[in-house]
Chain A
Amino acid sequence: MAKKIQISIDNKKIETEEGRNLVTVAKEHGIFIPSLCYYEHLDPPLGTCRVCTCNINGRPGPACMTKVTDGLEVEVHNKELKNTRQAIVEMMFSEGNHFCPACEKSGDCDLQHMGYEMGVSHSRFPHLFKDRLIDFNPKRMVIEHNRCVKCKRCVEEVLTDDQKSVFSFKNRGNETVVGIDYEQEAKLSEEQALNAMHICPTGAILVRGKAFALPFGDRRFDMHSVQKEQAQIFKKPEESNGKPERKTIATISLAGCFGCHMSMLDIDLGLLDLIELADFHKSPITDIKEFSKQCDIGLIEGGCCNSENIEVLREFRKKCDILVSVGECAIWGGLPAMRNTIPLGECLEEAYLNGITSEQGEYIVPYDENLPKILDKVYACHEIVKIDYHIPGCPPTATHIWKAVKNLLWGDQYSILYSEFKYD
């Protein structure tokens, strides 16, 4: 029988037994410590992702590596720690190529889940867009290296019946990848392979034919937060006096698909209320092409893939007091940024000259002085101009967009539900 001890987490006294893992103890007492690589039965724990960083007896350290001892004092929720943990999750998004809307694991992904729980709307770090492999060679699996966060779970956990590793880290530094042994992988049973897919916290390990077994919407992290009070991701109550002032809104779709604009229209009857309060100026909705006055807010859909996008975006920055990136493409490039890992020249040659439908010598890459020029890569809007707010989603839900806009324009207090905050 382990010794009974007392620890404190955020000044809350907790009785527990000595030697247990801090993350587990906190969880049992309703305190959420974000974690990714942590796996209860692994001892020693992996300690690779660092998402669970807390102050432990006054010093920052990973909660997953901490075994509770009598008198332990832990600080989980202060501004710096929250910011730090959020940064680690953002780093993972920036380092990999995580296209949630196109990912088989969306809704069942621990990384995405952490982003939702922490309210990560965009990454403060530049996306690195490193070209990575998708490996179709294994017998049962597809390994999507773009999505791997190097948590090491699979390296430690996935073994053949004769105890040989199927996965191992390869290389070093930012070149580190999880290597897979084809010979050993072929020995895995379907059940073992499914387990590998399951323990992967992202969509890096997929089992052929099984990745879509559970429909979107019914997945682990789709609708419900693990935190009790997660509903309000951000609020900004301000003094509002009497009748709300009439405001002007401008919108634009740059390198986007107009999906975000469609989503804006999805508030249906709510539009009628909105029209009472706001004018739409330059926008595809009004078809006004030129700015003739200063606007209160500009909603930007899409990132910048050509020179025209850059000019338009700069114009918006000048003419709008508040600028908001709406949707994944505006926030970090989104699906169009899939080309960022490949040089532009190669993309164009493949698309126009060497593709299977092009006849040799018959086709050219379109180029005309009157056409906007294509940029070397797709840029996030905040790389070009200052962006004040980011609304994630592909597309963001209508309610999310309008709650945010009403808050920004009229100071309405609002809360975003867990189920409304999405990357896909």
Chain B
Amino acid sequence: MKNKDSLNTQNRSSLLSRLWEFQENHGYIRDENVKTCASELNISEVEVEGVISFYHFFHREPTGQFIIYLNNSIIAETKGFQRVKEAFERETGALFGGVDPSHQFALFETSCIGLSDQEPACLINFHPFTNLNTLKVKNIIAQLKRGASPADICDPVPDHIRSTPTEDKTIFLRNYQPGAAVMKLRDLSPQEVIEEVKKSKLSGMGGAMFPTGLKWEACQNQPEDTKYIACNADEGEPGTFKDRVLMNALPGLMLEGMIIAAYAVGSTKGIIYLRAEYKWLLEKLEQTIDHFYKMNLLGKNIAGIEAFNFDIQIQLGAGAYVCGEETAMLNSMEGKRGEPRTKQFFPTEKGYLNQPTVVNNVETFCAAARVIELGADYILQTGHPDCPGTKLLSISGDCRRPGIYEIEWGTTVADILDLCQADHPHFIQISGPSGQCISMKEKDRKIMKGDLPCGGSFMIFNDTREILNIMNNFAEFFKHESCGVCTPCRAGNFIIQRKLEKVALKLAYASDFDDIREWGNIMKMTSRCGLGKTATNSLVMALDKFPEYFESKVDHHKEGLNKEFDLERSVEEYDRFKS
């Protein structure tokens, strides 16, 4: 029985890949496919349906020959999303959320696809199309109708690497020699690797900034024989695209980081959880992995180190922001719904398939590889004394030079705004919707642990942007991307969004903002994972930091009558029946 169970979990891990096959074959997953999966895994059909419906790139209804996912992030919105959306509908004859009558085109909105430096952007059959405008859309659709393939006509995606520190302080975006880091392992024991990483004070680049050395050590200390290295390549935070650039420019560096981690903790298997939005990078990653096997940087006795065996495979996600949360990602890798787990155990204790697992993101693995390659002392002379090292920022929004910036930890916001030539900045969103917003009064604050920690997204909005629109976009995003398991996040995000609608209709009282603060705090206190805990952060901060703006949205009479209740509007529908 035990054996059957473990076999089943192994197979279960392949569910997402299996569903992708069906999705790609027919453009949707058919009833018989669901039956097949259920019988293969010996589970009930509703469980398979549960998995399919969790991921928004899986469809249960027929779609089209071309599936178009248009990004609806706030950056896209400021760059002309609405016009592009209308253009797609006009040109294809389909409405968003549906298919055209000839089943050629299916249109869907999706959250950030990691192309914020070239918005508006969309994916057509998962090939990127960037800097869209009405004319371009018309052109693309015409070509597709004439039989062109999206793979042939899609846009090349430039890395837009705009700035690095001086040569002697650059960590990520410097010359890369494949194997340079891994070769160093020949002279280091696993313990020495961990000590070096600890010494460099490297901490998780996803935003939580947990010390990487400690995490590796915790995993190393576990007695189990089977351990996993999981690379989180599911950067879903709107506005971030640094992992895209790293995987495009330095895929080998990321692999080396994983190999080093494997050596340190004693793992033989690594998995890259690649977000489906970056499916167009899949081929490149696979080629790099193949190349690594040929160079003996993967496989058996790596780099000539006896009995150091390590393999890497790639698991494709299927569209769910919450899978960027590490335990949700582990569930997703196991072929389940990407619901975050309860925090009984750290992944280093019970992670993938309940085995000790190191989960780090792309950037952290890249940084770890550089630590070994360049040595901790090199890292320690960069950045800020309290927070050494550098950080990749994905800068987007109202600036002349959106793109990737490698900055030293401790750089001020003002310096960054200068570097990217921001245009009348007014409102800055750091680390994406779940991060924090700042006003220009805080432009001397530093990007670093202890002041403004940052996961990578840096979105700039000028003084013509409505803060309420930004907040509404975020609320809509969280409402949609909540996994739905815990009450405060599932219901709370929905409720907050209704409240913002009320504000937008100018029906709000000052007390409505007090409600938002209180409700936000309740969500923060009670939500199960970071998504719900942070969903209202920015909104509550914005209320504090832009009081004049929100003041202007308030209605000030105090007679206890909601005078603004719009009687005309609410009887409009009934008035249709006037004969």
A interface residue numbers (CB < 8 A to B) = 44-51, 53, 60, 62, 65, 84, 87-88, 91-92, 94-95, 124-126, 128, 149-150, 152, 160, 164-176, 179-181, 183-184, 307, 310, 314, 317-318, 323, 343-345, 348, 364-365, 367, 373-377, 379, 383-386
Contact = CB atoms under 8 A, between A and B. Distances in A.
Interface string B445-489: 000000000000000000000000000000000011111111110
Contact of A60 (B491, B526, B579): B526
A272 to B, nearest CB: 33
Given A50-B487, A60-B525, A348-B577, A374 B571 contact: yes
B561 interface: yes
B164 to A, nearest CB: 39
B129 to A, nearest CB: 26
Contacts of B175: none
Contacts of B575: 373
Nearest to A371: B574
Interface string B49-73: 1100110100000000000000000
Contact of A173 (B483, B525, B526, B579): B483
Contacts of A48: 485-487, 528
B490 interface: yes
Given A53-B525, A150-B485, A172-B54, A184 B46 contact: yes
B574 A375 contact: yes
B320 A181 contact: no
Contacts of B50: 168-170, 179
A307 B566 CA distance: 11
27 contacts: A50-B528, A65-B343, A87-B522, A91-B491, A125-B519, A128-B494, A149-B487, A165-B43, A165-B44, A168-B46, A172-B54, A172-B483, A172-B484, A174-B491, A174-B493, A181-B44, A181-B45, A181-B46, A183-B44, A184-B44, A307-B571, A314-B561, A317-B560, A344-B574, A373-B575, A384-B561, A384-B562
A97 B562 CA distance: 25
Given A88-B526, A91-B488, A386 B560 contact: yes
Nearest 9 A-B pairs (CB), nearest first? A176-B484, A168-B50, A181-B46, A386-B560, A95-B491, A373-B571, A365-B577, A60-B525, A50-B526
Interface in B337-389: 337, 339, 342-344
Nearest to A311: B567
Contacts of B86: none
A152 B483 CA distance: 13
Contacts of B225: none
A88 B571 CA distance: 33
Contacts of B574: 344, 348, 367, 373-376
B573 interface: yes
A87 to B, nearest CB: 5
A285 B493 CA distance: 44
Given A152-B485, A373-B571, 20 more contacts: A47-B528, A48-B528, A50-B488, A124-B515, A125-B491, A126-B498, A149-B487, A165-B43, A170-B50, A173-B479, A173-B484, A175-B484, A314-B561, A323-B560, A344-B573, A348-B577, A367-B578, A376-B574, A377-B570, A384-B561
Contacts of A45: 342
Interface residues of B, number: 60
Nearest to A164: B44
A179 B49 contact: yes
Contacts of A181: 44-47
B402 interface: no
A196 B344 CA distance: 27
Contact of B320 (A53, A172, A343, A364): A172
Contacts of B528: 47-48, 50
**Which of B44, B53, B519, B571 is packed against the most chain A CB atoms within 10 Å?**
B44
Contacts of B144: none
Interface of B: 42-47, 49-50, 53-54, 56, 320, 322, 337, 339, 342-344, 479-488, 490-495, 498-499, 515, 519, 522, 525-528, 559-562, 565, 567, 569-579
B220 to A, nearest CB: 25
A94 B495 contact: yes
Nearest to A169: B50
Contacts of B481: 172-173
Given A50-B526, A128-B495, A168 B490 contact: no
Contacts of A180: 46
Contacts of A51: 487
Given A173-B483, A184-B44, A95 B561 contact: no
Contacts of B491: 91-92, 94-95, 125, 128, 174
A170 B49 contact: yes
A379 B571 CA distance: 12
Contact of B577 (A152, A169, A367, A376): A367
A345 B344 contact: no
B487 A53 contact: no
B490 A165 contact: no
Nearest to A92: B487
Given A84-B526, A95-B490, A164-B43, A128 B561 contact: no
B495 A126 contact: yes
Given A171-B54, A174-B494, A384 B560 contact: no
A343 to B, nearest CB: 7
Contact of A168 (B49, B343, B495): B49
A167 B49 CA distance: 10
B561 A317 contact: yes
Nearest to B496: A125
Contacts of A310: 565, 567
Nearest to B571: A373
Contacts of B576: 345
